[in-house]
Structure 1
Amino acid sequence: MLWLLIHDQSALLGKGGVAQEVSRLYYGWYGILRHGSFPSGDHLWQYPPGAGAVLLSPALLPGLTYFQAFVTLTLLTDAVIALVLARAGTRPGRSLRGAALWIGGLPLLLHIPLARYDVQVTAFAVVSLLTLSRSRRASGVFAALGALVKVWPALTLLGTPRGRTTRETWAAAVLTTVTLLALLTALFRDPFDFLRQQDGRGVQIESLGGTALMLARRAGWPGRTRYQYGAVELVGPYVHAVALCSLALTALAFALLLLWRLRARRWTPATPYDAALAAVLLFTVTSRVISPQYMVWLIGLAAVCLTSQHTAQRPVAPLVLAATAVSTVEFPAYYGEVIGSTWAGCALITVRNGLLVSAAVMSFTRLWCSGRPTPEQPGNPGGERPGPDTPGRGRATISAVFHPRGRASLNR
């Protein structure tokens, strides 16, 4: 990946366009952030205020250029994720498949992960999920840190077992969010300006709606592409309607996830992992933007799922890897074909998004089925296993087994 980043001037590697995200855009924002202000009025700045801390982090390595320091910190974060996954995989009842998926899957994106800060965001989500079984409060803190950088890590809290676990985890996340937002507001000017830049977003060519419009373009639709809001978007008739459809699908995805949480009666050690992957997949495929670096999130969450022997998402991981591989072909190698809506470009983006939709549907279906109680393992309404959080429940069950009338009741 480093070698590719050094030689990214090749036409197949984007003619330097991938690395310019750091050396120009991020570095420009870094200069503004250093003076105590967020990029106010910049329509490209669409990130929560926590992203500013990540973009300022290269200052921790003063002996390097901004680009060198950013890549170095990204590599270190990559190593942390691999080590955390490997450590989790060595515990009883766990697997090293998760670490293997991360180590082998991330290079499918070539050098893109090293020139974006999505690896850092994914690290917060991975650590949040893997610390849940040991420290609920720490899990909530890491989820909040990730959400302050790029929102989606908040979805890692969706699958926390109901009861004390959810209360403590979510309370820690809320407290961390409020505290850090207050701190950022005190230290920087315009920390919430990013909210004003969201309304103008259109339909990116790599999104699901963009795929439909690209195919319509081949059939005679008069729309065209334009670079705006940091992405190549489609403009023309019906684009606004497609964007509204994407928002409606996102709302539907949220409703389905909420319905799952309300109806689920069985939690396994892997349920929080599975719920996070299903949620991010659903929100990704219904988004108006599906950039290649989004695949970093999905690889990381799929890797977390595979650390557990109880996961229901094992068949989803190959689909995520396949979609990642096609994403690399689509960008940067043949991005010109996609922008021009040629048949080759349409075919690539249709295959990639088809794989993502298949993964999202399979992921949510398997999550839904895993939440149903089985005759051998009836679920409990609270979603938690008997233990320290549910005092007396285990003792009541044991006494019922050994008491003669209790046995008769159980037999009935």
Structure 2
Amino acid sequence: MNRLRVTPGPVLALTACWLATRALTLWLLLHDTASLLGGGSVTREVWRLYVHWYGVLAHGSFPAHDPMWQYPPGAGGVLLAPGLLPGLTYFQAFVVLSLATDALVGAALVRAGTRPGRSVRGAALWTGGLPLLLHLPLARYDVVVTGLAVLCLLTLSRSPRACGVFGALGALVKVWPALVLLGTPPGGATRRSWGWAAATGTAALALFAVLFTDPLSFLRQQGGRGVQIESLGGTALSLARHAGWTGRTRYQYGAIELVGPHVQAVANASLALTAAAFGLLVLWRVRARRWSEATPYDAALSAVLLFTVTSRVISPQYMIWLLGLAAVCLTSRSTSQRPVAALVLAASALSTVAYPVCYREVVDGSWSGCLLMLSRNALLAGAAGLSFVRLWRAARPPAEKKVPPRQPRSDSNRLPDRALSIS
């Protein structure tokens, strides 16, 4: 039996880097009230909002009448999980679970990267890229969602069934992980992964319906969401304020959104662009002819990027998703998404400058805030466009080499018969 040979050097270096950077993020978490770190706004969502929802969920009901509850029923399971850790406050248990999931994702990426023909660049991107978001990943449950999406992709080659299960569980927590199943290879792998995803999703929804009331209440709240200031549409409207637009910002649905004339038109345009992005992805799926080990990874990153940039909402924690998917892409040496991963890293760094460091400028719509969001969103839009173009080109069949027809030898090229005779 051939055993996997793992070079200890890179693994030890990644482990040391993970420990050092996560210690730094924990330190930042302890100093969250500093004005440069948002004045406590980053962790407030856990100890105020998540704790409140935990209390409602613990009594067997989803917060159906809370306009900020906009998540599928699987999110309820994630928010209940900290209560299973004894001896800790809810906030402490939530951070512990976030760190544990972060470590699990890193370990899965290391394991995938040390397989023959693979690369540990993906684990390096996750280890060094996530701290670009400072302590935000510890105070949002998006690390858990990203972990399910990463496991979904990494288990595809060995167990399409497990891939489908992880994809369904991720979609039940925050919808978008359903997109990672887009690039499964045609044939048996797609049938098994999609079939198990459908079965798992149906069974889980039935279980939530039995154990809780109003498991689908989030659908009502999603329909009322407007245009968040950090989205592409929000950036356009913030710039329009300097040209005389009379709109303003308002805290609603758990985010700072823009309200005023033409906001609904911008929201409708975002939905139309999302539909167009879905159409492009379906077209790619139908037209794709080449499938490598990296194709499912590349397709997942491209799909989530397209849906992110066309969304009415681009919250800072969305960058956690993109970092995780970019890391999975880099575990394969045949990925087409290396330059896209670099753009995602740059966009993550700018996202941190926008929130929490300079969020007041972004909310006020100052020139510096507008230019900051314009730069971040330009990076994301460029990454989405480049990602899809490279995905499309990688799926095209190789150009057949045209061999020129063999030309018959003309008489002028032949030696005269007498030249062949021996004198």
The answer, yes or no, to whether TM exceeds 0.5 is yes
The 5 Å alignment of 1:23-38 reads 23-38=47-62
The 5 Å alignment of 1:36-51 reads 36-51=60-75
Q: Within 2, Cα distance between the matches of 1:199 and 1:156?
A: 24
Q: Within 2, Cα distance between the matches of 1:28 and 1:51?
A: 14
Q: Does 1:20 align with 2:44?
A: yes
Aligned to 1:101: 125
Code of the residue aligned with 1:45 in structure 2: it is W
Which secondary structure does the structure 2 equivalent of 1:149 belong to? helix
Q: Which has the larger radius of gyration?
A: 2
Q: Does 1:265 align with 2:312?
A: no
Question: Displacement of 1:64 after TM fit?
Answer: 0.2
Q: Does 1:137 align with 2:168?
A: no
Q: Does 1:177 align with 2:204?
A: no
With normalisation by structure 1, the TM-score equals: 0.91
Which secondary structure does the structure 2 equivalent of 1:372 belong to? coil
Code of the residue aligned with 1:170 in structure 2: it is W
Q: Within 1, Cα distance between the matches of 2:254 and 2:311?
A: 15
The 5 Å alignment of 1:157-236 reads 157-236=181-260
Question: Displacement of 1:165 after TM fit?
Answer: 0.9
Q: Within 2, Cα distance between the matches of 1:160 and 1:9?
A: 44
Which secondary structure does the structure 1 equivalent of 2:250 belong to? strand
Question: Displacement of 1:376 after TM fit?
Answer: 6.9
Aligned to 1:382: none
Aligned to 1:331: 355
Q: Within 2, Cα distance between the matches of 1:286 and 1:56?
A: 31
Aligned to 2:147: 123
Question: Displacement of 1:200 after TM fit?
Answer: 1.1
Question: Displacement of 1:375 after TM fit?
Answer: 3.8
Residue of structure 1 aligned with 2:321, choices 297, 302, 306: 297
Paired residue total: 377
Aligned to 1:63: 87
Q: Does 1:75 align with 2:99?
A: yes
Residue of structure 2 aligned with 1:150, choices 150, 166, 174: 174
Question: Displacement of 1:199 after TM fit?
Answer: 1.5
Q: Within 1, Cα distance between the matches of 2:44 and 2:265?
A: 33
Q: Within 1, Cα distance between the matches of 2:198 and 2:38?
A: 41
Q: Within 2, Cα distance between the matches of 1:140 and 1:304?
A: 17
Code of the residue aligned with 2:312 in structure 1: it is R
Q: Within 1, Cα distance between the matches of 2:240 and 2:64?
A: 37
Which secondary structure does the structure 1 equivalent of 2:215 belong to? coil
Aligned to 2:414: none
Q: Does 1:276 align with 2:319?
A: no
Give unpaired runs (5+ residues) of structure 1: 378-412
Q: Within 2, Cα distance between the matches of 1:243 and 1:185?
A: 31
Which secondary structure does the structure 1 equivalent of 2:45 belong to? helix
Q: Within 2, Cα distance between the matches of 1:164 and 1:96?
A: 29
Which secondary structure does the structure 2 equivalent of 1:201 belong to? coil
Aligned to 2:35: 11
Code of the residue aligned with 1:160 in structure 2: it is T
Which secondary structure does the structure 1 equivalent of 2:112 belong to? helix
Aligned to 1:88: 112
Question: Displacement of 1:62 after TM fit?
Answer: 1.5
Which secondary structure does the structure 1 equivalent of 2:338 belong to? coil
Q: Within 2, Cα distance between the matches of 1:226 and 1:35?
A: 31
Code of the residue aligned with 2:77 in structure 1: it is A
Which secondary structure does the structure 1 equivalent of 2:46 belong to? helix
Code of the residue aligned with 1:351 in structure 2: it is S
Q: Does 1:252 align with 2:270?
A: no
After TM superposition, the runs of 4+ consecutive aligned structure 1 residues lying more than 3 A away are: none
Give unpaired runs (5+ residues) of structure 2: 1-24, 402-423
Q: Within 1, Cα distance between the matches of 2:40 and 2:249?
A: 21
Question: Displacement of 1:60 after TM fit?
Answer: 1.7
Query: Alignment identity in percent?
Result: 71
With normalisation by structure 2, the TM-score equals: 0.89
Q: Within 2, Cα distance between the matches of 1:146 and 1:226?
A: 30
Which secondary structure does the structure 1 equivalent of 2:192 belong to? helix
Question: Displacement of 1:215 after TM fit?
Answer: 0.6
Question: Displacement of 1:164 after TM fit?
Answer: 1.0
Cα deviation per residue 1:292-338 (whole Å; 9 max; x = unaligned)?
10000000000000000110001101100000000000001111101
Which secondary structure does the structure 2 equivalent of 1:315 belong to? helix
Q: Within 2, Cα distance between the matches of 1:94 and 1:132?
A: 15
